[in-house]
Amino acid sequence: MGICHSLFGYQCRLTSKAVIRVLSGIQPSGDLHVGNYLGAIQAWLQDQHEFDAFFTIVDLHAITVEHSPELLRANTLKLAMTLLAAGLDPEICTIFVQSHVSAHAELSWILECTATYGELSRMTQFKDKGKSNDSIRAGLFTYPALMAADILLYQAERVPVGEDQRQHLELTRDLAIRFNTKYGETFTIPQATIPPLGARVMDLAHPTAKMSKSSKSPAGTLFILDSPDEISKKVSRAVTDTENSVRFDPVNQPGVSNLIDLYCAATGESPVEVASRHTMYGELKKSVADALIALLKPVQDRYSEFCKDPAEVSRILKLGALKAGEVANPTLIAAKTNIGLVTP
């Protein structure tokens, strides 16, 4: 842990925090939504103060589906600005773009060669997106091996993610254990850290489907940069039910429960408290909208500041990639050596 003569003095950096590595990632496949924020980014903001944390914009994952190169470039920068505006601080954590650290693609290939067809076929995210369509890209199938590489390169112990990534984390653990057993101790076995609330924020218009960047339902997706007016409108139109009782019961009242979950994840209150304080759906919706507007307002203000200085954002990402490479490259060399590749 920590290289003595490292360019960025990892040893110094690590003495002030627990020497526990955190890594997480997010795809630049569209604008950041409240699900991303409550399911993952809120935990990142906390973890950066407590651990040696790495956060990556996973652009290589974003090309596993049909995409526009122009839009991908724009989204990558916009996502970096949004993450900085949300409060990720490059002075205390490392923020970088995945494709800027070539070790990710290299280790991904090695891990693909240890993963089995059966394991990759069982990934529900692949099954959801792939739907037995012959023209889907091979990269979508091997996507979880790239994600495993992202994590294992940093010897990460904690991986803060939303509920939908749990299965990918299980596979990452399996691949790491298999590699260590067959080829010798190489990787730390990571653990998903999933928040108790906000781990699976549902679409407001279709509360049995997950809120998603690529959703075809703009009315059901709350974006981080939505204006207070848009947030109020979307929340006030959220689908509920005809029961007229505010209860946290995700199975029977998915819409109302999603609103309670949103409120609790944004404020830290418990679902029971919130349910007991509200009797009307309209009242609950107003509380949810107010809580989200208050949560997002500072992020939106800072975002406009970062937009004025894209050169600074590029500088932060460049530095981040150098710092990331310092940790990732020694792991890659160890993995190559242990699996029998002759290193130059």
Which residues are the active-site residues? Answer: 129, 210, 213
Backbone angles phi, psi at 124, to 5 degrees: -65, -30
Residue number with CB closer to ligand TYM (216 or 308): 216
Calculated CA dihedral for residues 338, 339, 341, 344, nearest 10 degrees? -30
Residue number with CB closer to ligand TYM (21 or 168): 168
- Fill in the DSSP letter of residue 210: B
Q: How many residues bind ligand TYM (CB under 6 A)?
A: 26
Distance CA 294, CA 140 (A): 37
How far, CA to CA in Å, does 310 sit from each of 77, 146, 301, 307, 317? 8, 28, 16, 6, 11
Among 199, 256, 292, 295, binds ligand TYM (CB under 6 A): 199
Shortest Å, Cβ 12 to ligand TYM: 26
Say which residue the tokens 């889907």 belong to.
136
Instruction: Give yes or no for residue 200 binding ligand TYM (CB under 6 A).
Output: yes
Q: Please give the angle made by the CA atoms of 271, 276 and 278, to the nearest 5 degrees.
A: 100
Radius of gyration of the chain (CA): 21
321 is written with which tokens?
A: 């990639």
Among 21, 36, 47, 274, binds ligand TYM (CB under 6 A): 36
Residue number with CB closer to ligand TYM (23 or 313): 23
Instruction: Give yes or no for residue 61 binding ligand TYM (CB under 6 A).
Output: yes
Shortest Å, Cβ 58 to ligand TYM: 4
Q: Give the closest residue to 221 by CA, choosing from 184, 246, 230, 47.
A: 230
Half-sphere exposure of 188 (CA within 13 A, CB side): 20
Residue number with CB closer to ligand TYM (66 or 134): 66
Residues 6+ apart with CB under 8 A from 135: none
Shortest Å, Cβ 307 to ligand TYM: 21
Among 13, 21, 22, 39, binds ligand TYM (CB under 6 A): 39
Residue number with CB closer to ligand TYM (172 or 232): 172
Residues within window 130-169 making contact with ligand TYM, judged by CB under 6 A: 147, 150-151, 159, 161-162, 164-165, 168
Residues within window 251-310 making contact with ligand TYM, judged by CB under 6 A: none
Q: Select the span of 111-119, 134-142, 207-215, 311-319 touching ligand TYM (CB under 6 A).
A: 207-215
Calculated CA dihedral for residues 319, 321, 324, 325, nearest 10 degrees? -110
